[in-house]
Structure 1
């Protein structure tokens, strides 16, 4: 992972995600971190008055933009003392909605990973819209993996990661290149867990060996677990907490866990309840 993209709206959650990205640089081969603020002004705001009969003037818009750039510069200066030596920190102010800004920067700057806070990070001037809604949209639209960082989480060296997947459904869908980029050079213990809502017992190792997931993950020497829990999300988060893991990895399109995350109400539940970062693979 050479380039991280960190959307920032200067909320505590977004700033925490930026510090997480800086700390993560010591455990990866990242060379560039992009701090990006999305500043969208609707044309109507410059033509029509709001409820207080106030119209935005161009001078006010430009002043706000300058303030945001200054805020990004201050954050860059703080993070420059925290990142691994040699890592470059760039700043970007995008005059578009957050989702469009993220998609554009990924394409223009070849970002490999998006890191964002689970709450905060609005795309409007007032700062009223939370990232809880945007996480869903960004996760769907992003062409690269997304790490969602809980607002109170402080970076810990990633020694153990929980990979949530359905043993029977995984075929060629594990993005192995991404996993190797993230974990290949690190001594990260991979814990592969299948949550069984039916409550039936299973021979974990035997079940895993009968599926494609066993061969694909062989190089990581993972440990396999089969957990009975009627609630998939609760089962995974409880397992991660019991194992004292530093990250949960969810696969796309193959597991009801991620499919549930991509539903607004469940994503808000995850953002509220997850105490460790969640990596959404693509």
Structure 2
């Protein structure tokens, strides 16, 4: 059974991510964990806390969270009455990052799906602060869905890589099974001045081929020094439906995620983005 965690702040963007997840996994037996972490909401209104005790405010915010989750669940079952899907709602007096981490460990979650931005994030940035935190620190694949993105079957996927990292079988299997119902074509893109691969790179390339066996794979090389520009150009020219990258130490994606400003990614990523975390998990 596929286990999917979807954090929500009850925004349109969060609901959009839920809709995407329901469509993407409509053929798989899946358990969805819809989670709202509300600790930040307790302290959001200092005036309210000064008027009432912390206990009263916490109780009120907690009840509101549970009510909103019930409403969300009703909406989900109305728009997608899928017998393959089951749902669990989690209302937690915790911060988003810690609760996400906890559920991933407790439930052995396969993938986190979330909107790229919440209620109050800047329109100019691609990833809101919560999404960035989860991408950076939670040891689980994360699929980020852009604001207002209308579901499109993931038929053409771009996976830029240098073939230098030891990919994790569980994560490649997730990608393989997630997109194979759509007869996806996966373009592995090696951005380099040299077309020659080392023995290590060839071994990793063979491993990818074995693990993504249910899909058509193209192994492409682009001669370029400008990785970000090359990826964007490729996305636009080839009409890519999903971008997949691996987040690991010293990787291209890590460099992007840990920059002081993420705006350098030129940044108008308007397709779903799957970050594999290259973590060893059972």
Please state which band the TM-score falls in when normalised by the shorter chain.
0.7 to 0.9
Query: How far off is 1:255 after superposition?
Result: 6.6
User: Residue 80 of structure 1 contacts residue 89 of structure 1 at CA under 8 Å; is this kept in 2?
Assistant: no
* Correspondent of 1:278 among 267, 273, 277: 273
Q: Which residue of 2 aligns with 1:80?
A: 77
Q: Which residue of 2 aligns with 1:136?
A: 132
* Correspondent of 1:180 among 170, 173, 176: 173
Q: Which residue of 2 aligns with 1:233?
A: 228
Alpha carbons of structure 1 residues 39 and 191: separation in structure 2 relative to 1, 3 Å: same
1:156 correspondence with 2:149: no
* Correspondent of 2:106 among 105, 108, 130: 108
Quote the Cα distance in structure 1 between the aligned partners of 2:263 and 2:8.
19
Query: How far off is 1:35 after superposition?
Result: 0.7
Quote the Cα distance in structure 2 between the aligned partners of 1:274 and 1:131.
9
SS of 1:182's equivalent in the other structure is helix
SS of 1:211's equivalent in the other structure is helix
Quote the Cα distance in structure 2 between the aligned partners of 1:121 and 1:146.
19
1:218 correspondence with 2:213: no
Query: How far off is 1:143 after superposition?
Result: 2.2
Alpha carbons of structure 1 residues 121 and 267: separation in structure 2 relative to 1, 3 Å: farther
Q: Which residue of 1 aligns with 2:115?
A: 117
- 1:58-88 C-alpha deviation (Å, 9 max, x unpaired): 3333222212211111111121234432301
Please tell me the root mean square deviation across aligned C-alpha atoms, in Å. Answer: 3.0
User: Residue 2 of structure 1 contacts residue 31 of structure 1 at CA under 8 Å; is this kept in 2?
Assistant: yes
1:68 correspondence with 2:65: yes
Quote the Cα distance in structure 1 between the aligned partners of 2:35 and 2:148.
21
What are the within-5 Å matches in structure 2 for residues 19-98 of structure 1? 19-27=19-27, 29-40=28-39, 50=46, 54-57=50-53, 58-83=55-80, 84-98=82-96
Q: Which residue of 1 aligns with 2:123?
A: none
SS of 1:22's equivalent in the other structure is helix
Query: How far off is 1:40 after superposition?
Result: 0.6
Query: How far off is 1:39 after superposition?
Result: 0.8
TM-score by length of 1: 0.80
Quote the Cα distance in structure 1 between the aligned partners of 2:239 and 2:198.
23
SS of 1:217's equivalent in the other structure is helix
User: Residue 166 of structure 1 contacts residue 255 of structure 1 at CA under 8 Å; is this kept in 2?
Assistant: no
User: Residue 26 of structure 2 contacts residue 84 of structure 2 at CA under 8 Å; is this kept in 1?
Assistant: no
SS of 1:10's equivalent in the other structure is coil
Quote the Cα distance in structure 2 between the aligned partners of 1:88 and 1:271.
39
Query: How far off is 1:270 after superposition?
Result: 5.1
Quote the Cα distance in structure 1 between the aligned partners of 2:149 and 2:51.
40
